[in-house]
Structure 1
Amino acid sequence: MTELRTASMSPPWEGLEGRDRYAACLVAARSGDRRALDVLVAELTPLVWHVARGNGLDRSTAEDVVQTVWLALLRHLDRLTEPRALVGWLITTTRREANRTRRRGTTNVELPPELAEQLPGGDGLPEPEVLRDERDRQLWAAFHRLPQRCQELLRMTVLAGRVEYRAVAEAMHMPHGSIGPTRGRCLSSLRSLYDGEAGR
């Protein structure tokens, strides 16, 4: 009867959000609850992925870094003294691993599709590959002229899913409701800076 009651109980992270949710999952994962680890991987992998991509890694290399970061978490599961700091730990670990990986070899960064959608297309024009490369160069030049906080926010919200916003809000110490409007202002600034780059 006790086993049946235990099986039907709600997991400790149910109904929680943000830092509290991930802390509860981490504590449960330490106790061997595989479901808790699955929740962390499902909800925080997009964040880890975009931090890796935002640090200059191509798609394939970023995938390797994401796997390395999750393996590192498994190795350090019992050593994280503050479960509520999990998101920050993942971001810091991803940045370090991305930098270490990038130093081992140069990588080409693709233009994120969402940013590309903000710009006029070059369909029907001659030499589309050359034009796309030039557009990407101008966009990245504009991107790097944005304030650091805008760069960080845009890097982490390419997927723009609800769960990712919650994790980004935790990571950047911003209210959840301000992520979307701030992101919109950053995209507008990027568009203005890009127009300036393209007009040169």
Structure 2
Amino acid sequence: MERVRDYDLTMLIKASINGADDAWDELVRRHARLVAVVIRQYRLRPADAQDVSQIVWLRLIESLEHIREPAALPGWLVTTTRRECQRYAQRGSRTVVVDPATLTSMTAPDAPDAGDALLATERHQVLRDGLAELSPEQQRLIALLSSDPPATYADISRILNIPIGSVGPTRRRVLEKLRQTAAVQSYLRSPTEVKAGGARHVTAELER
């Protein structure tokens, strides 16, 4: 029987979509360093760096089925991680992008945009409100998925006392339920969100 460590990227993505816990763990293992390297370039505060990592992995959970070209996954992760780092910079963090080879500044930080910072704060509050509508067990699952690195399916199965084969389907149901909470749905229908370009990934912007 072929081990997941021998899978190519296409096989890993397909198996992860189908809920294979070992495939998801391997997918994260292969790319965790890439995400961490990008985050380090922005010199975020430790708490912000952890939040960015959590958001990136949650976005991947939501977007995995839509990645049509597996070879594009590393680039997708880099782009997504940079975007989230920049959002945290716009929220007011004193952030400087650095060259990882020399650890010297590459660019001066942009001045925070007050509108973007306010919108990010609003989104995080909406997510906190949405999480409050979930059951304690569902909140625990979200917390485990948001850990850095994300908890393995084996760990989630043990901690939540659920069959390991049900972790993937349960994950998808809980994320969908979060999207359907009154708090998130109200936000998605708001004029502010329309002006901001939509919130297809709003449920990925979680803060512990």
TM-score (norm 1): 0.46
Higher Cα Rg: structure 1 or 2?
A: 1
By percentage of residues, which structure has more helix?
Answer: 1
